[in-house]
Amino acid sequence: MESVILCRYGELFLKAGNRRAFERILADNVRAATAEVSGARVEQTHGRLLVRVPATDADDAAGRLQRVFGLVSVSVARQVAAKEDLDAITAMAVEEARAAVARDRPASFKIEARRSDKRFPKSSMEIDRHVGAAVQAATGLPVDVHAPALRLGIEVGTDVAYVFAGKQDAPGGLPVGASGRALLLLSGGIDSPVAGWLAAKRGLALDAVYFHSPPYVGEKSRDKVLALGKHLARWQALRSVTVVPFTDAQKRLRDTGPAELAVVLYRRMMMRIADAIADQLEAGALVTGENLGQVASQTIENLTAIEAATRRVVLRPLVTYDKVETTALARRIGTYETSILPYEDCCSLFVPSHPATRARAQDAEKVENKLDVAAEIAAAVAGSERVAID
Ligand code: ATP
Ligand code: MG
């Protein structure tokens, strides 16, 4: 037996000029998302994607498709030859209703029929009534047209009809890759994985860079970041994590500059190294989990001083989020439990309890001019290790 997963997308229609390219990328991403489901086949029809899978794999495939950006919702459907008339559709609807009753014990139902082929002899309202009566007789469920617990969808096309119980939300947004490529500064915290997810939702394909400072920061922190990378890859958001050795640069910055500038100096160095890595990966932008005012270092002045060190646009998807919103999203996307593991991050190394909140780029430059910044970047890039995430 075969199921057909109806994959709906919405926003793409707004972008009339790019629609074809977006649809192609979306179809590729849907194909990749279901590549491990044996026998899955993807078809493009007008304004929708269909994924055919063995019925036993349908829930697994639907779960994967619910993590594909660009899709708005999915429904696991059964196909009926529409030419066979209303009886076949009704029989299938009754079967689906029985299965839903056994699975979810809904308190009421409603038939929602749509007819795209107007040559079909019955109107949608007639289909609703006919099928509704049969489902009610077979299951004993009452009809509730306003707030039904079970929505049985029926779509009648030219050659085939689909029958499905309800729809499941997918994340929406744009297909990953449609907006190009960016480099995510991924730490082990709560914020940066969520920032990466939001960037991917806007169609950015990501690689990540992680600055690692052994022995002050342990291997567990590195493992944690790689684990977060895997979580993002479940959403097709991430391709690789580049682990950059950062201890030497940090120590030299610490030894050269005033303690209260340490965080800004570290972050400016991170930006420069990230730029060099982004050159290698052909990433057009940087993405960080920075926010406003959550920590003393994240003031407009400090963000300005940090951003002055990079050639690329820095995207900060979380700038309007408060911690409650970020945490809720981290839970939803599956990164939270990993993020709260108690391992240290290099940004807190050698940092005083009262860091500067109004750093100026020129003060940082005075410190940096005493160092060979280009050599610092080159050494960090040369010592870095790129880990493919799959
Ligand atoms: P997060 O929860 O993402 O760790 P945060 O609230 O702890 O963020 P900061 O420590 O100031 O804030 O870091 C701000 C951003 O800088 C991070 O979201 C991340 O994008 C980047 N960043 C910080 N430390 C690292 C690191 N070791 N490697 C890569 N990026 C980092
Ligand atoms: Mg952090």
Model confidence at 15, pLDDT cuts 50, 70, 90, reads low
> What's the pLDDT at 342?
85
Q: Is the dihedral of CA 43, 45, 48, 54 positive or negative?
A: negative
pLDDT, average across residues 374-378? 97
Q: How confident is the model at residue 46 (pLDDT cuts 50, 70, 90)?
A: confident
**Residues 135 and 97 sit within 8 Å (Cβ to Cβ):** yes
pLDDT at position 30 over 90: yes
The identity of residue 243, as a single letter, is: V
Last residue of a domain, one of 169, 195, 219: 169
Report yes or no: 155 and 92 within 8 Å, Cβ to Cβ. Answer: no
Centroid of ligand 1 to alpha carbon of 41 (angstroms): 40
Q: How much is the average pLDDT of 238-251? A: 96
Confirm whether 176 is domain-assigned. Answer: no
Give me the mean pLDDT over the 202-217 stretch. Answer: 95
Structure-block tokens of residue 149:
């617990």
- Evaluate if residue 389 carries a pLDDT over 60: yes
pTM above 0.75, yes or no: yes
Would you state the pLDDT for residue 13?
57
Which pLDDT score is estimated for 118?
Answer: 83
Domain that holds residue 284: 181-388
Rounded to the nearest 10°, the torsion over CA 279, 205, 390, 319 is 100
Ligand 1 closest atom vs CA 294: 6
* Average pLDDT rounded to a whole number, residues 231-248: 97
E-assigned strand segments in the chain:
2-9, 41-45, 48-54, 71-81, 109-115, 150-156, 160-165, 168-169, 181-185, 205-212, 238-245, 285-287, 313-315, 385-388
Centre of ligand 1 to C-alpha 288, Å, is 7
Query: Stretch 228-247: mean pLDDT, rounded?
Result: 97
Confirm if 314 and 307 have CB atoms less than 8 A apart. Answer: yes
In ligand 1, the atom with minimum distance to the C-alpha of 192 is 3
* pLDDT at residue 14 in the model: 57
Report residues near ion ligand 2: CB below 5 Å.
187, 189, 345
Domain count within the chain = 2
Q: What is the mean pLDDT of residues 79-86?
A: 83
Percentage of the chain modeled with pLDDT above 70: 97
Same domain, 344 and 249: yes
For a mutational test of ligand 1's pocket, the pick from 183, 184, 185, i.e. the residue with the most ligand atoms closer than 8 A to its C-beta, is 185
Instruction: Band the pLDDT of 72: cuts 50, 70, 90.
Output: very high
Kindly report the protein residue whose alpha carbon is nearest to atom 12 of ligand 1.
Answer: 290
Neighbours of 111 (CB within 10 A): 28
pLDDT tier, 206 (very low <50, low <70, confident <90, very high otherwise): very high
Q: Considering the domain boundaries, does residue 53 fall inside one?
A: yes
Query: 340 CA distance to ligand 2 centroid (A)?
Result: 11
CATH classification of the domain holding 263: 3.40.50.620
324 and 220 share one domain:
yes
pLDDT digits (tens, 9 = 90+) for 98-115: 999 999 999 999 999 999
What lies within 8 Å, CB to CB, of 12 at 6+ separation is: 19, 22, 23, 26, 70, 174
Whether residue 378 sits in one domain with residue 255: yes
Q: Average pLDDT in the 102-131 region?
A: 92
Sorted by sequence, the CB contacts under 8 Å of residue 270 that are 6+ apart come out as: 185, 211, 246
Supply the pLDDT for residue 294: 65
CATH value at residue 152:
3.30.2130.30
Statement: residue 94 has pLDDT above 60:
yes
- Evaluate: CB of 290 within 6 angstroms of ligand 1: yes
148 CB less than 6 Å from ligand 1?
A: no
Please tell me the residue having the least CA distance from ligand 1 atom 8. 191
Q: Can you say how many angstroms the Cα of residue 207 is from the centroid of all Cα atoms in its chain?
A: 13
Last residue in a domain, options 169, 203, 224: 169
For residue 293, what pLDDT band results from cuts at 50, 70 and 90? confident
Strands 181-185 and 285-287: what pairing?
parallel
Domain presence at residue 111: yes
The mean pLDDT of 59-85, rounded to a whole number, is: 93
Residue 262 has pLDDT above 60, yes or no: yes
Residue 175 placed within a domain: no
Residue 117 has pLDDT above 90, yes or no: no
Which ligand 1 atom is nearest residue 297's CA? 11
* Inside any domain, residue 293: yes
